[in-house]
Amino acid sequence: MGNTYSQVYIQTVFAVKYRNAVIDLSWKKDLIKVISNLINETGCKTLIVNGVEDHLHCFFVLKPSLSISDLMQGVKAKSSKWINENHLTPERFEWQRGFGAFSYSKSHTDAVYHYIANQEMHHKKESFKEEYTKLLDAFEVDYDERYLFEDLM
């Protein structure tokens, strides 16, 4: 698409299935590199990826010809495949279905970057569920709490 110019800043948030705390510090940095590379391979620009044991945040500049859904579907599928092929978890690894996506203006990028960089510290005070519902509420996203998270049966 010649003569197409954009600067769309997106933060996505997604959880490990059942919010299991299985992302281990011993391989978390490698997972972050894998996800960053998967985002960049699409022509998007990764700004930061980080998270804790049960979820991750990705902050990137979206390429205008891609949908967020297609991007996240590929990132989640390929990163879970990488985790499983490397036998990094005792059981088969899966991401929870879906994700949250939030857009930001250029003036907010530093704050979002630092927020994601400090996830470990942030989650000493607040659970993922609290954080996620606060984001949904702040962005006025309608949601049904019954379907927000998959739980073990």
Nearest to 11 by CA among 127, 149, 115, 123: 115
Answer yes or no: is pLDDT of 131 > 90.
Answer: yes
Residue carrying structure tokens 């993922």: 128
Answer yes or no: is pLDDT of 85 > 80.
Answer: yes
Q: State the Cα angle at 96 between 78 and 49, rounded to 5°.
A: 60
Segments in 42-96 forming alpha helices (H): 68-85
In single-letter form, the type of residue at position 31 comes to: L
pLDDT: which is higher, 150 or 13: 13
Q: Where does the pLDDT of residue 153 fall: very low under 50, low under 70, confident under 90, or very high at 90 and above?
A: very low
**CATH entry, 8-147, from 2.40.40.20, 3.40.50.10800, 1.20.1070.10, 3.30.70.1290:** 3.30.70.1290
Cα separation values, 33 from 57, 72, 136, Å: 13, 15, 27
pLDDT tens per residue across span 12-34: 999 999 999 999 999 999 999 99
> pTM above 0.75?
yes
